[in-house]
Chain A
Amino acid sequence: MALKGDLHDFSLTQLLNLVHLAHKTGTLTVHGTNDQVSLSFSEGKLVYGQGGLTDGHLVSILRHTKHLTEEQARLLMSRPQANNDKELGLLLIHAGYLDQQTIVQAVQQYITDLVLRLFTWSEGSFQFFNGVLPPEDRITVHLDLQNLILEGARRMKEWETLQEEIPNLDLALKFTDRPDSRLRGINLTVEEWRVVSYVNPKNTIRQIAHTNRLSDVEIRRIVYGLMQSGVVEVVHLQGDTSPAGPRIMPIPRTPEQASLINRLIGRIRSL
């Protein structure tokens, strides 16, 4: 099944949330106006990225993170190991030039910068290629997407989108009960922590905003980030009548009703 569309309709934050929740493995390519970025995921974790003017090889990454000068990068490119990142990494470690941790951190930094740059794109088409991973010789990492999703929501500026995502502030929030959703390891801002401390099915989003003196835009942005990163979900309060209008009571659930439904099932099966 294809997973493709446009960032205008389905934002990068939503895409990362989808990859995270569905534990997807594959490569997401995003084509912007003048640029293309590829991000690879394994079981919902970000493992590799390539984009912009760089080829995604280790030399380019170390140049990007300023661990190599232009001259050093050019010299390394002439070595036979230059096209195999793992071999090149070992060469640099054995030569005592860089340690393993520095190399991994450089790759993490490069990929994180790529994603943060992608958050600034409001236009672009995307496609997810299931099961496609970077070549074997590339150095991969395991980056949790939750923090990146939160960062994406923090950078969100479009008021209309936020309003469409969270149209009603008179709903409550609860922590998700998914086993992989934990607050541990997530970097929250002070404001986000304040909101989290009031998450309770009895408190509406509006009440939480009022208590924390947050504007409608601020509370929507925070709640959107917490929802997309899988920390909280919306719950409908009992008696909630939104959107405005009388609530139509369901027809009574009786044994006679069950018999009626069974007759309908029988008829539809026979069509």
Chain B
Amino acid sequence: MAPQTVKMVITGPFNSGKTAFIRSVSEINVVSTERKISSPAERVKETTTVAMDFGRITVDQDLVLFLFGTPGQKRFDFMWEILSEGMLGFVVIVDSTRPETFREARFIMETFRAYAATPFVVAANKQDQEDAWSVEDLRIALRLDSDIRCVECVATDREKVKNVLLELLDSILVEINKDSPKP
């Protein structure tokens, strides 16, 4: 029998580190549909994800977790709703060194929130860089509710990425326990 599959969505603004995040924990080479960037305004890196990244973590023979990364460029936002269908939860990755992307991060967060009432966490990425805003400052800049977790992250560091995913899973558990009938 085919294993049960569950999915998480990894989203965030352009160049926030979504592909690197998935690469850090995926057991397969991330299936990434990257293309050379054509717009000069977005040429801070050579390629970008135009459709989606796709990573996999096998739990056991009955259960597989898929990680779907959304395209960072706004013109591909029609993909978001499709990707969010049936997700366990989502991670919003924010480049802590680029305040010019915070407004967009908030928009993405609110959009996904409206698509599905699933838990999510914010990953404050690039915390190893000197210019990174602190998690506390990011919370205020992104106007996060007190119950939303904002976690330090370095997308290329497997342990940090694991910690973000564990925070998300823990948020989901909290939600489940909230909804479960009490004896």
User: Is B99 within 8 A of A263, CB to CB?
Assistant: no
Q: How far is the CB of B14 from chain A (nearest CB, A)?
A: 14
Instruction: Sample 25 A-B pairs with CB under 8 A, ordered by A number.
Output: A2-B131, A2-B133, A3-B133, A3-B134, A6-B100, A9-B99, A165-B103, A167-B110, A236-B113, A243-B114, A245-B81, A246-B81, A247-B114, A248-B116, A251-B86, A251-B88, A258-B176, A261-B172, A261-B176, A263-B60, A264-B6, A264-B63, A265-B173, A267-B60, A268-B166
User: Is A262 within 8 A of B173, CB to CB?
Assistant: yes
User: Is B100 within 8 A of A261, CB to CB?
Assistant: no
User: Is B169 within 8 A of A22, CB to CB?
Assistant: no
Residues A1-55 near B (CB distance < 8 A): 1-6, 8-10, 14, 17-18, 21-22
Instruction: Provide the residues of chain A in CB contact with B60, threshold 8 Å.
Output: 263, 267
The answer to whether the Cβ of B147 comes within 8 Å of any Cβ in the partner chain is: no
Which residue in B65, B107, B179 is a CB contact (below 8 Å) of A267?
Answer: B65
Q: A2-B130, A245-B81, A253-B180 are in contact. List 17 more A-B contacts (CB 8 A).
A: A1-B133, A2-B131, A6-B99, A10-B141, A18-B137, A21-B140, A22-B137, A22-B140, A248-B85, A250-B116, A253-B176, A253-B179, A258-B173, A260-B6, A261-B173, A267-B65, A268-B162
The answer to whether the Cβ of A164 comes within 8 Å of any Cβ in the partner chain is: yes
Bound form: Cα–Cα A200–B130 in Å: 42
The answer to whether the Cβ of A240 comes within 8 Å of any Cβ in the partner chain is: yes
- Chain B 64-85: CB-based contact to A (< 8 A → 1; otherwise 0): 0100000000000000010011
- Chain A 216-243: CB-based contact to B (< 8 A → 1; otherwise 0): 0000000000010000010010001111
The answer to whether the Cβ of A184 comes within 8 Å of any Cβ in the partner chain is: no
Q: How far is the CB of B141 from chain A (nearest CB, A)?
A: 6
User: Is B132 within 8 A of A1, CB to CB?
Assistant: yes
